[in-house]
Amino acid sequence: MRYAVPLLSAATIALARVDIMLPLYTPPGAPLLPGHKPFNGPTNSSDLGFTLPPTLRYSTPCPTPRPIGYVSTAYATGVRNRTEAAIKADIDNWASWQTQTSWSGPGANISINGIWFDETSGDAADFAFYQRLTAHAGQAFAGRQYITVLNIGVRMDAAYERQMFDLASAVVTRETCWQEPSTANAVECPPTYTPFDAATLQNSSGLPVNADLYPKASVIVHYVQPPRELDGAMLAEQIRQTVAYGFHSAYFTSAKLWETTTLGPATVGAVAQAMADAQV
């Protein structure tokens, strides 16, 4: 679940069995460009970020990025404030991205490979709503390989869990901070967040209730920096423990939210290396 800050989009980068799920704000010229966020989904194209996709295939060093488009389902406050029609329009817009003329020549590949459904409800009463949205995504991306990610990020109704996992390629079961929540970081780390520690993940609290669903679960952690104790070795150990669960994907960033990949100790390079090392 997101609070106050819209996520850009996400990409899974298949470095190893547990992938990197990378929410990202990045301008042209940065070393890794798996996606972008035109405001809150693709509809508002006045954002300069809307022009970034033609650079995607030319600026990323990773040969297998799978950029997926961000769509808010607007449950961050516990009340849906976007219409189903508006959400479906965003899905259709992302699915229409395939080729675009660019400075590198005509027909640049700007394909979006699925949808990140943000601010997803964990209430069983909302299952039919997400069933319709994911079915619509299947129709919009028909004939193509695509992924769907449902970002619940908090404990969900246990009776709803298996049904929800059946709808998606992956479900974010824990989105949180490394930092302790406080009044100083209330935007980045709301009071509902539990500071991340891989050793304390439990079924229904960061882990699915059903262990057979671990391979479809995802964990994302931001604000990975002091003052809470942390160094490179501790970060690598947290990643090792996280990878050991056999999740679909994970990501750690030292950014307060998702605005940079180069702030240490959890730079995108350090995280990618630690995840690869954990799966040798």
Contacts of 230 (CB under 8 A, 6+ apart): 178, 224, 265
**Model pLDDT, residue 105:** 63
The H helix count followed by the E strand count for the chain is 6, 12
Tens place of pLDDT for every residue, the chain, 280 residues? 333 223 344 544 444 489 988 876 554 444 443 434 444 444 444 343 333 443 333 333 355 677 888 898 987 666 777 899 999 999 999 999 887 766 666 677 778 889 999 999 988 889 999 999 999 999 999 988 899 999 998 888 888 899 999 999 999 999 999 999 999 999 999 998 999 999 999 988 899 999 999 999 999 999 999 889 999 999 999 999 999 999 999 999 999 988 788 899 999 899 999 999 999 8
- Tell me if the bond preceding 67 is cis, omega within 30° of 0: no
DSSP 194: P
Phi first, then psi: what are they for 57, rounded to 5°?
-70, -15
Burial of 200 (0-12, 13-18, 19+ CB in 10 A): exposed
Which region, left, alpha or beta, applies to residue 108 given φ > 0 means left and ψ of -120 to 50 means alpha? beta
**What whole-number distance in Å separates Cα of residue 145 and Cα of residue 143?**
7
**Model pLDDT, residue 66:** 79
Phi first, then psi: what are they for 70, rounded to 5°?
-80, 130
- The architecture (CATH level 2) of 9-277 comes to Alpha-Beta Barrel (3.20)
- What is the pTM (predicted TM-score) of this model? 0.82
**What whole-number distance in Å separates Cα of residue 279 and Cα of residue 74?**
35
**Model pLDDT, residue 154:** 86
**What whole-number distance in Å separates Cα of residue 227 and Cα of residue 214?**
31
DSSP 69: E
Domain boundaries, the chain: 9-277
Residue at 122: amino acid letter? G
CB atoms within 10 A of CB 260: 16
**What whole-number distance in Å separates Cα of residue 152 and Cα of residue 170?**
11
**Exposure class string for 221-258: b at 16+ Cβ within 10 A, else e:** bbbbbeeeebeeeebbebbeebbebebbbbbbbbbbbb
DSSP string computed for 219-241: EEEE---TTSS--HHHHHHHHHH
**What whole-number distance in Å separates Cα of residue 172 and Cα of residue 140?**
22
**What whole-number distance in Å separates Cα of residue 251 and Cα of residue 175?**
10
Beta-bridge mates of residue 69: 9, 115
In the block, tokens 């949180």 appear at: 176
